């Protein structure tokens, strides 16, 4: 009975707000306005769906000087791509933008921003990305992140091909990553940052291909404005280096999907089906918050699909 009364009260509040114009209602609210969010907004705008994109303006690739492996935009800066995308999306009159951060979502998809504004939507799309967690015990990583400390050989590998390159990883991940990077440079060292946990048979394969394994604990990445010159170990020794791949831990940029009941996988990504749906009805997700495959091109593709799938569900809801 208490739950029924609570839900009735919520519904009454929503109805009151809508009748008296306190909250503006949209077909879709997109939380996150980078590549996936903007791509989803374009698909929805072209379907005449009223869409609000709310974005805090803090992209994960803000330090990255150039974006690659995205046909027609290879070599452009991430900011240039995002600015052009926003300009093109803004041409659709049903799409609106709001600078801000979403802090709460109530039943009925009532979205509240940090400055107290409230909006309601029929569907939600989380395109919020992830936050890379910089190691606080290794100096210089954060300053080099996205410049010469990199995460993806497809996004950055060609630009550092043939250079003295390191990989900061351990175990099976280190082995698989080393296999991939070995195709781009033969000057490759695997820094396990402590005793190696790589299977001895796999370790032998790496060494047979000239891939060095250094188990020393890392103290600092020496750099000049994000460009690495060497890596320093806790024992005081150092090694010259020009690029370092790193698989850093991450967290979801917002806890809201999880708080709303969206399931995460064992890696911490939001689980979506082939239609970009989460397990919570009406909530979708797209982009880096759902996949290990982080790239501008992939985020745009995922956002485009999510926008189309949301429009299809809106059609089915009313037809």
How confident is the model over 218-229, as pLDDT tens digits?
999 999 999 999
Q: Are residues 124 and 30 in the same domain?
A: yes
Question: Of the ranges 3-17, 180-194, 248-262, which one carries the lowest mean pLDDT score?
Answer: 3-17
Task: Give the integer Cα–Cα distance in Å for 230 and 169.
Answer: 17
Name the domain count of the chain: 2
Tell me the mean pLDDT in the region 29-37.
Answer: 97
- Say yes or no: 163 and 120 in one domain: no
Bigger pLDDT: 148 vs 8: 148
Q: What span, in angstroms and rounded, lies between the C-alpha atoms of 41 and 264?
A: 24
Domain boundary among 196, 217, 246: 246
Q: Are residues 60 and 208 in the same domain?
A: no
Query: Same domain for 232 and 276?
Result: no
The model scores a pTM over 0.75: yes
Say if residue 284 is in the same domain as residue 233.
no
Q: What is the pLDDT of residue 34?
A: 96
Query: Across residues 93-107, what is the average pLDDT?
Result: 97
6 and 128 assigned to the same domain = yes
Please give the Cα distance from 52 to 30 (Å, whole number). Answer: 6
The pLDDT of residue 138 is 96
The domain that holds 145 is classified in CATH as 3.50.50.60
Domain housing 174: 141-246
Whether residue 205 is found in the same domain as residue 294: no
* C-alpha distance from residue 41 to each of 27, 110, 203, 302, 304 (Å): 11, 19, 47, 12, 8
């Amino acid at each position: 009975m208490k739950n029924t009364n609570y839900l009735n009260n919520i519904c009454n509040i929503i109805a009151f707000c809508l009748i008296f114009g306190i909250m503006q209602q949209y077909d879709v609210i997109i939380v996150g306005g980078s590549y996936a969010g903007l791509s989803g907004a374009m698909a929805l705008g072209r379907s005449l769906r009223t869409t609000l994109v709310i974005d805090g303006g803090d992209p994960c690739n803000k330090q990255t000087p150039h974006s690659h492996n995205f046909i027609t935009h290879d070599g452009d800066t991430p900011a240039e791509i995002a600015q052009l995308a926003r300009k093109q999306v803004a041409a659709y009159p049903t799409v609106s933008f709001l600078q801000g951060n979403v802090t709460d979502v109530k039943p009925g998809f009532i979205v509240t921003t940090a400055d107290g504004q409230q909006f309601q939507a029929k569907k939600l799309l989380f395109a919020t990305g992830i936050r890379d967690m910089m190691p606080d015990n290794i100096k210089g990583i954060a300053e080099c992140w996205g410049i010469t400390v990199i995460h993806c050989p497809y996004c950055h590998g060609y630009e550092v091909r043939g250079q003295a390159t390191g990989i900061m990883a351990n175990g099976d991940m280190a082995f698989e990553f080393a296999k991939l990077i070995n195709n781009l440079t033969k000057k490759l060292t695997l820094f396990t940052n402590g005793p190696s946990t790589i299977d001895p048979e796999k370790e032998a394969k790496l060494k047979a291909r000239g891939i060095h394994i250094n188990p020393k604990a890392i103290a600092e990445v020496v750099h000049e404005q994000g460009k690495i010159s060497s890596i320093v170990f806790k024992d005081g020794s150092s090694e010259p280096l020009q690029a370092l791949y790193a698989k850093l831990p991450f967290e979801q940029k917002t806890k809201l999907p999880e708080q709303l009941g969206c399931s995460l996988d064992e890696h911490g990504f939001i689980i979506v089906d082939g239609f970009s749906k989460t397990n919570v009805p009406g909530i979708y997700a797209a982009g880096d918050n759902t996949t290990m495959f982080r790239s501008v091109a992939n985020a745009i593709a995922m956002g485009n699909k999510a926008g189309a799938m949301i429009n299809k569900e809106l059609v089915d809801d009313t037809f």
